[in-house]
Structures are given as C-alpha cells and as structure tokens.
Chains A and B, each alone.
Chain A
Amino acid sequence: MKLLEYEAKQIFSKYGIPVPKGALIRAPEEVAAHLPELGGAVVLKAQVDVGGRGKAGGVLFAEGATAVVTARDLFAREIKGVPVREILVEERLAIEHEYYVSIAIDRSSRQPVVLFADAGGVEIENAAQADESAVRRVVVSPLLREIPPFLMRELLGGAPKELAPVINSLYRAFQQKDAMLAEINPLVTTPRGVYAADAKLIIDDNALARQGIAVNRDLSEREREAEKHGFSYVELDGTIGVIGNGAGLTMSTLDLIEYYRGRAANFLDVGGGADQERVMHAVRLVASMPGVAVIVVNLLGGITRCDEVAKGIIAADVLPTVIVRMAGTNEEEGRRLLGKHGYRMLESMDAAVRAAMGVAS
C-alpha cells in the first residue's frame, strides 16, 4: 500500500530523518494558523497518490497572506484526475543541492538495493535513462541492520558524508516498516543541514497486518469486498466476466480473451481449494458488475472438486450466461450437474473463451 507524502514523512521523522516543518490542512483557511511557525515563504503540496505531481500542478509556492488564496486554488484542482482533499504546507527550504536516494527490492539478487544519484529532483528518471552511471547502486544483505561503511562510501562517491546517517535511517525504516520502496527525492542540503524534501513509502501488502494497518486504501470497495472472501479481484471495463483459480491461469484467460479480440470485465482469482460457497460468491460478485454479458469460469487443479464448483455456479443463479471449463476431481459429476441445469461445460480454455465471445458479440 502506498503511503502519502505526509504519512511517509511522519515515519521517516521517527527514524531520525530531518523533514521540513509542516502541517496538514483540509481547508484553505487553515493555512493562516500555521504561517507564524512556518515562516513567510511556504510550499503547498497536494497529498495525492500520483506520479509527476509537481509537473501536473500539484505543488505551489506562496508568500505570507497570499497562501490562503494559493491553497484555495490548489484545493480546487484535480491532479491527473485526482481531487485534492489534503494539502501539506511546509516551510520553504534554502536548497543548496538536490540528491536522490531510494531503497527497493532487487528480485535478481533477492536483497535490498540502494540507489543514489548526485543529481536528484524531478528529472531523475530521464537522467538515469540517458546516463546509467548517473545512478550508483549497491545491494545490501538483508541480514545486516545497516549499510556497512564500505558500501556507503561506494554509494556516496564524492557526495557529502553527512548524507550517510540519513541514508542509514532510511534503510532502517525500509527494513522495519516492511517497505517495498522507501525513497527520498530530493534529499537536499541546506545551510541548516540535510532534509528529506519529499518522501515516498510503499508498504508490502502481505505485511499490513503486522504493521498495524487495517484497511488497504489501494483497493476499491468492491475489491475490498472480494478480499474478504479471499479473492484477488481487479475491475476492468469489458463485457466478459472472468473467474479462475490461480493468478497465472486467470491472467492467461484474460489474455486469451484479448487474443480473440474480446474485452474482459474483470480479473477474479478465487484462490486454492474453491468450494461451493466461494464459487457462488465469486459468480455473484462478477455478475453484479454492470455490463457483464457472459462469465467464463476456468478452474484447474488437483484439489478443486468439480461437483462443488458446479453446485456453487448453480446456487449463484445469475442472469449472465456462465460458461465453464474445469478439470479436477469428480469432473463427470460436475459435468452432469451443470448439464442438468442448462450450463455449458467445455473441454479447453480456448473453447470456453471462444464460446464466451459468441455470447458477448
């Protein structure tokens, strides 16, 4: 789950990373109360989860009393289609230099990877693409609690040594907060010291519970409903509903629909060991989406009991046509049950998707 900038800064601050003085406001008038502590010159930053926020007009500068007008302007905007509900008002820093630091997970070496660039800021991605050497990277053993000095020297190159403790604090936050990504861009030097001018933190969805996060905000309401049943669920905008078991097989079913030039309405992975109850909920959930003309159920596996699945489909009793492809235990009984109630059970996923195309068009 992605945290917003102000949430990430609160966490970074607890780990000893200096962040600019700031306050969160939810209405333009609130800005006035914070001006004395923040000084005359402030930055207003929309708290929206979009990339390229600054370029999209989500960051504005203001001086003194005009800050209220600027805040009103920002609250009225949509940043890449996302309405602005919260603004982080911060003191304006006297920036000497902008660096880039980021910690992510390197799939290839299966270790944290720390990235550092001497030229941080909004152009970092372009700079990195133009010149690979612009970004230095070191991998750190997950068994270590901090970045060892020799790796830190390699990472920083000629950059000031005072950045090292901040980067180590970021590393600890990355480890202890179960982060998939912890990033400071820009990490700035000022006459008063080093600051995290921006902050990005993505928490591993599999660790939300132990991080005390009850609700995954990245999910829509229907997606959260699906999560309660143990489904992985994503809404798309086509007409063919899809239910499968296993992420790969379900994705592959979606791809096959596209291959035959159809459009999938959703992705729903029922997970392992689908029983009658779960299948029924899955079918009803997909059938409840507007615009679904037909549902393809594609289940495969040694443990999936076809008679259970068939009973679930029959119990769901939905309006859109349900086309079934399944293989597993009690396949014959499943076929008999479905046939008795007028459902079609097909031999292969190709055949099932082609049949669905026929209904959808």
Chain B
Amino acid sequence: MIYGDKTLGVIVQNITGRQGRFHTELMNAYAREVGGRGVVAGVAPGKGGQEVHGVPVYNTVKEALREHDATASVVFVPAAHALDSIMEAAHAGIGLCVVITEHIPVHDAMLAVAYAKLHDCTVIGPNCPGLLSPGECKLGIMPAHLAARGEVGVVSRSGTLTYEVVDELTRAGIGQSTVVGIGGDPVIGQTFVDVLARFEDDPRTKAVVVIGEVGGNLEEEGVRSTSLPVVTYIAGVSAPPEKRMGHAGAIIEGGEGDARSKVRRLAALGIAVASRPSEIPGLIREVL
C-alpha cells in the first residue's frame, strides 16, 4: 500500500454535508471491517459540537487536530470554498489531503497545490474518487466491495471507469495493492509520475494498471518514469477533436492529448495497451 495503512487517522472536511455524512459512514464501515482507525473527526465551520455517525465535529481543522491524532483529510467542501479548506488543512499540519470536490476552478487548484506544497502536504485530486488500499484503508468514495487485496497497483484519472477495471481484476482473481483516482481535472495534486514513484517504492506492488484519458500527455510521462511492469488503458479514442467529454481534462489539445496518438506513443514505448477494459486482466497476467 501507498499513502497510508490501517493506522492512518482521517478527518473529513464538510462532514455535515450530504456526501460527507454518507461517505464518513462508508469509510468507517470499511475501517471496522479491516481493523483500521478510519475517520476520527469531522470539520464543519459553525457546527462544532455535533456528531455525524458517532464522529465528533469541530469548527476548524486546528481544533480537530488538537483533540485527535490524524494526518490525512478527505475534502467534500463545495467548489467555491474548497481552496480555503485545502489551505486550512495544509496549514494545520495535515500531510495528505484527498479532494473529492468537482468543478473547482483551475486557478484555485493551482493555488491549492502550490500552497499545500509549501506546508509539505500532498494533495490527491481534486475531482477524484480518492484512494483505497484493500485491507488497509479507504479515503474517499470508492466502492470497497469491488476490490480485493493483492499486488497490482491501479492509478487512474477516472472514477467509475476505475471501479470497472478493479471489478474486472477482482473477478479475474487479481488483487490490488492500492487503487488511486488522481482526478480528471487539468491541474491535480498527484500526477501519474508521483503515484508511480510511490508504487515503485512499495514492496507489495508488482505491476501497475495506468488508466488514462484523452487530454495532456501525463500518462506517457508517468509510464516513462517507472521500472515496474505497466498495462495501460486510455479512454476516449472515439472522442472527436475539440469536444469536451465531461472532464475539463478531457479536451484534446493540439493533437498532443488525443487518445489515439497517446495510445500510439505508449505502444511505441513497448507498453501493453488494452483496447477495452476487459482485456486488462489478461495483459496484467502477461506482465506479472
């Protein structure tokens, strides 16, 4: 596993919102299942003193950390206030900030990542499903029942497509070490390069599935940076140029980011590229 294990203490920012509430319950159900610590406190300005599914709520991150031992946070704060919340977490000493919020303006994302870096805080996301190390910890919204503990790392810009691939792997009897959704926005805290570097240092991870999308060239950059066996899948080969398919990141830019040329460049590097998700388990077996 990377980023954290059973001992990781987590806070949830905007724990009193609909999503925050719902996923705190799911994260703690998972923590109980694997014997982890899970969500130990929540933050919601003006709602200090309340409880959400038995988890105490504080007005500020600082207050929460005064009472609880936590090093990670999961952010469910609406886009307009997400930058402030990420900075608050970083400033208070949180070391890992997982940002689920979507539609954060890209200039806010740049500021959040830059500010967090000054405070040695790692940001995952925004606009991501979070991370899951089966048997260890879950930060975010991934459906844990699809995953199984094992030796394959998964890193992806998508949400549901990641679940699809994890489901395919598990059904094929291939477990995962850690599954990381890095988010589909143009600016994200952890890129493929960063996550692959963590997998490289993780003794449990023996191979990695890289799930990319149309837009940018960071998949290629990531794959070039690792010595681990890699299988890739790139969504969006049928996307017409200049059309935005949901993610801000999924815009094709000047030929560089279109999925077809991305697939071509990866194949030229000798990397296995699946042409559909169901091919991934077979290709992983070949490289393991």
Segment with Cβ contacts to B, from A108-116, A148-156, A185-193: A108-116
Segment with Cβ contacts to A, from B8-16, B89-97, B154-162: B154-162
A249 to chain B, nearest CB (A): 4
A104 to chain B, nearest CB (A): 9
Q: For residue B250, which residues in chain A have a CB less than 8 angstroms away from its CB?
A: 247, 251
> Is there an interface contact between B158 and A105, defined as CB atoms closer than 8 Å?
no
Residue in A105, A251, A327 whose CB lies within 8 Å of B246? A251
Q: For residue B55, which residues in chain A have a CB less than 8 angstroms away from its CB?
A: none
- Assembly CA distance A295 to B159 (angstroms): 22
Q: For residue B247, which residues in chain A have a CB less than 8 angstroms away from its CB?
A: 247-248
> Is there an interface contact between A247 and B213, defined as CB atoms closer than 8 Å?
yes
Whether B238 is near chain A, meaning CB under 8 Å from some CB there, is yes
Whether A205 is near chain B, meaning CB under 8 Å from some CB there, is yes
Contact with B along A88-118 (1 / 0, CB 8 A): 0000000000000000010110111000000
- Assembly CA distance A166 to B24 (angstroms): 49
Whether B56 is near chain A, meaning CB under 8 Å from some CB there, is no
Whether B145 is near chain A, meaning CB under 8 Å from some CB there, is yes
Q: With A257-B238, A300-B167 in contact, is A178–B107 under 8 Å at CB?
A: yes
Q: With A254-B238, A255-B238 in contact, is A248–B156 under 8 Å at CB?
A: yes
Q: For residue A257, which residues in chain B have a CB less than 8 angstroms away from its CB?
A: 238
Q: For residue A207, which residues in chain B have a CB less than 8 angstroms away from its CB?
A: 105-107
A233 to chain B, nearest CB (A): 9
> Is there an interface contact between B221 and A248, defined as CB atoms closer than 8 Å?
no
Contact with B along A172-210 (1 / 0, CB 8 A): 000100101000000000000000000000001111001
Residue in A141, A254, A349 whose CB lies within 8 Å of B239? A254
> Is there an interface contact between A248 and B213, defined as CB atoms closer than 8 Å?
yes
Q: For residue B239, which residues in chain A have a CB less than 8 angstroms away from its CB?
A: 251, 254, 267
> Is there an interface contact between A248 and B184, defined as CB atoms closer than 8 Å?
yes
Find the A residue at minimum CB distance from B212.
Answer: A248
Find the A residue at minimum CB distance from B275.
Answer: A259
Q: With A327-B167, A348-B278, A350-B276 in contact, is A247–B158 under 8 Å at CB?
A: yes
Residues of chain B from 217 to 237 with CB closer than 8 A to chain A in the complex: 218, 221, 233, 235-237
Find the A residue at minimum CB distance from B168.
Answer: A348
A76 to chain B, nearest CB (A): 26
- Assembly CA distance A143 to B26 (angstroms): 36
Whether A121 is near chain B, meaning CB under 8 Å from some CB there, is no
- Assembly CA distance A207 to B276 (angstroms): 34
B221 to chain A, nearest CB (A): 6
Q: For residue B243, which residues in chain A have a CB less than 8 angstroms away from its CB?
A: 234, 267
A125 to chain B, nearest CB (A): 8
Q: For residue A178, which residues in chain B have a CB less than 8 angstroms away from its CB?
A: 105-107
Q: For residue A251, which residues in chain B have a CB less than 8 angstroms away from its CB?
A: 161, 213-214, 235-236, 238-239, 245-246, 250
B210 to chain A, nearest CB (A): 13
> Is there an interface contact between B114 and A247, defined as CB atoms closer than 8 Å?
no
Find the B residue at minimum CB distance from A176.
Answer: B107
Residue in A110, A111, A112, A248 whose CB lies within 8 Å of B160? A248
Q: For residue B191, which residues in chain A have a CB less than 8 angstroms away from its CB?
A: 107-108, 110
Residues of chain A from 252 to 284 with CB closer than 8 A to chain B in the complex: 252, 254-259, 264, 267, 269, 272
B100 to chain A, nearest CB (A): 10
Residues of chain B from 134 to 179 with CB closer than 8 A to chain A in the complex: 141-146, 156-164, 167
Whether B41 is near chain A, meaning CB under 8 Å from some CB there, is no
> Is there an interface contact between B105 and A349, defined as CB atoms closer than 8 Å?
no
- Assembly CA distance A115 to B246 (angstroms): 28
Q: For residue A105, which residues in chain B have a CB less than 8 angstroms away from its CB?
A: 106, 110, 186-187
Whether A22 is near chain B, meaning CB under 8 Å from some CB there, is no
User: Which residues of B are interface residues toward A (Cβ below 8 A)?
Assistant: 22, 26, 79-80, 103-107, 109-111, 113-115, 118, 141-146, 156-164, 167, 184, 186-189, 191, 211, 213-214, 216, 218, 221, 233, 235-240, 243-250, 259, 275-278
